[in-house]
């Protein structure tokens, strides 16, 4: 596994362990890469609570309760869907903080409005105000599927850090 991902995951685990926080993730375009990085680190089980790989729209709806209306209105790669994924992960877990990632890793699936390399992230906190959206849209460019997924996983891990935003 990529050493940068493992190092970022170790930082996330150490920082959240120090605060007594559990983390969870919901992943679409990264396909479990964030969860894999977290679980690559020994001792991750005392911080990493669970991960969802919700690759299809149906999985997003069934596993973490993203509403069909949100998916159909905004599309899977949107702040609205990422935010619903993060909120759903908090609701369907025991985690204190959750991050969601959805995007277009390519090589197909892009459009003029949402080109390959577009990835949307959201973070939710247990007890946080659901009306305050913490989200980010990144455009990594068409740098190849593996690199888009790697960069997206690094951003998702960064969003799990306590001092982020």
pLDDT tens digits, residue range 12-64?
A: 999 999 999 999 999 999 999 999 999 999 999 999 999 999 999 999 999 99
pLDDT tens digits, residue range 120-147?
A: 999 999 999 988 999 999 999 999 999 9
Q: Which CATH superfamily is domain 3-159 in?
A: CinA-like (3.90.950.20)
**Per-residue model confidence (pLDDT) at position 164:** 56
DSSP string, 130-149: TTS-EEEEEE--SS-HHHHH
pLDDT tens digits, residue range 86-106?
A: 999 999 999 999 999 999 999
Question: 165 pLDDT band (50/70/90 cuts)?
Answer: very low
In the numeric block, the tokens 């068409």 are attached to 142
pTM (2 decimals)?
A: 0.96
**Per-residue model confidence (pLDDT) at position 163:** 72
Enumerate the domain spans of the chain.
3-159
Sign of CA dihedral 5, 23, 67, 60: positive
Kind and range of the H or E run holding 98? strand 97-103
Q: What average pLDDT is seen over the chain?
A: 97
């Amino acid at each position: 596994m990529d050493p940068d991902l493992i190092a970022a995951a170790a930082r996330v685990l150490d920082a959240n362990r120090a605060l007594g926080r559990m983390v969870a993730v919901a992943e679409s375009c990264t396909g479990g890469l964030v969860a894999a990085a977290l679980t690559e680190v020994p001792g991750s089980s005392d911080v990493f609570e669970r991960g969802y790989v919700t690759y299809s729209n149906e999985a997003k709806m069934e596993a973490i309760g993203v509403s069909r209306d949100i998916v159909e209105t905004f599309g899977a790669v949107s702040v609205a869907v990422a935010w619903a994924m993060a909120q759903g992960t908090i609701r369907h877990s025991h985690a204190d903080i959750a991050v969601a990632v959805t995007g277009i890793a390519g090589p197909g699936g892009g459009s003029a409005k949402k080109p390959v390399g577009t990835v949307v992230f959201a973070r939710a906190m247990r007890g946080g105000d659901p009306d305050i959206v913490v989200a980010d849209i990144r455009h990594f460019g068409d740098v190849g599927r593996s690199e888009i997924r790697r960069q997206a996983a690094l951003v998702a891990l960064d969003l799990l850090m306590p001092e982020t935003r």
